[in-house]
A = this chain, B = another copy of it.
Amino acid sequence: MITEGETTTSYPLSPRNRVKRLHERGSYDKATIHGLLDASMLCHVSYVVDGQPYCTPTFFWREENNLYWHGSSASRMLRNQSDGQRACLTVAHLDSLVLARCGFNHSADYRAVMAFGTAYLVTDAAEKERALVAMVDRFFPDRTATLRQSTVQEIKATSVIAMEIEQASAKIRSKGVADDDEDYELPIYAERIPVRTVLGAPEPCPRLLDGVERPASLRGYSEGRLLEDALRDAHFAHYAGG
């Protein structure tokens, strides 16, 4: 049973993050929520500017209860707001299309997380430096040490946004076709069509110098693998399971 107030293993429940429809699909468990976040690279972040909501697709990563993402227009928005700005960061994994025996029961299997908090521009030099390493190494473990060092200008041109997760919820459907009992008697075709996001064969840059080989740290990114599995493994490798 879910009760009000935060525990060490779940996010606090409030009217904001309470899963309102079909509540049997909802979860506030941190392990579930973190697992879905760590299996994603792409998120969508919502902000408000002058009453207009913006929904921006961007790359992000999680570090404990904090989410980080790139600046772009958000940084412009946040630059003059030292006290931060309300935001909602969402990830969604589409797992199947579900064709039922009536229109109402057509659906999809999916796993989604919505996380709420106050976004702020990372201005602390040490926090920003650490974030710029994680922005690469969380996806490609140990890669930063092999790269040409960032210039002062590049660091200045990159803005990092951070948000502590104040509330979050996961919503999961994974039951395929689920028709009304009496509809199973009807001669109507129904099916589940699985959907997967997979990696293709890596394409080495055609301008690699002779003798430069693919590092072993990238072996998790192999042809045919699920993107989410590669991302989850990389997160584990970088944060050592944290």
The residues of A with any CB-CB pair to B shorter than 8 Å are 16, 20-21, 41-42, 44-48, 51-57, 59, 72-73, 76, 86-90, 92, 94, 96-97, 99, 101-104, 106, 108, 110, 112, 114, 116, 132-133, 135-136, 139-140, 143-144, 146-151, 154, 157-158, 176-177, 179, 183-205, 207-209, 211-215, 218, 221, 227
Contact across chains for A205 and B193 when beta carbons are under 8 A apart: no
Chain B residues, Cβ within 8 Å of A53: 46-48, 53, 86-88
Chain B residues, Cβ within 8 Å of A146: 188-189
A39 to chain B, nearest CB (A): 13
Contact across chains for A90 and B200 when beta carbons are under 8 A apart: no
Copies in the complex: 2
Contact across chains for B104 and A154 when beta carbons are under 8 A apart: yes
Select from chain B the residue with minimum beta-carbon distance to A45.
B55
Known: A51-B86, A90-B55. A192 touches B202 (CB 8 A): yes
Contact across chains for B44 and A54 when beta carbons are under 8 A apart: no
Contact across chains for B203 and A86 when beta carbons are under 8 A apart: no
Contact across chains for A191 and B203 when beta carbons are under 8 A apart: yes
CA distance A199 to B198 in the complex (A): 10
A225 to chain B, nearest CB (A): 10
Main secondary structure of the interface of A (DSSP, over half): mixed
Contact across chains for A190 and B209 when beta carbons are under 8 A apart: no
Chain B residues, Cβ within 8 Å of A103: 132-133, 135-136, 144, 147, 150, 154
Chain B residues, Cβ within 8 Å of A187: 209, 211-212
Partner of A55, one of B46, B72, B209, B213: B46
A221 to chain B, nearest CB (A): 5
Select from chain B the residue with minimum beta-carbon distance to A21.
B72
CA distance A44 to B144 in the complex (A): 32
Contact across chains for A57 and B92 when beta carbons are under 8 A apart: yes
Partner of A94, one of B41, B73, B179: B41
CA distance A20 to B76 in the complex (A): 10
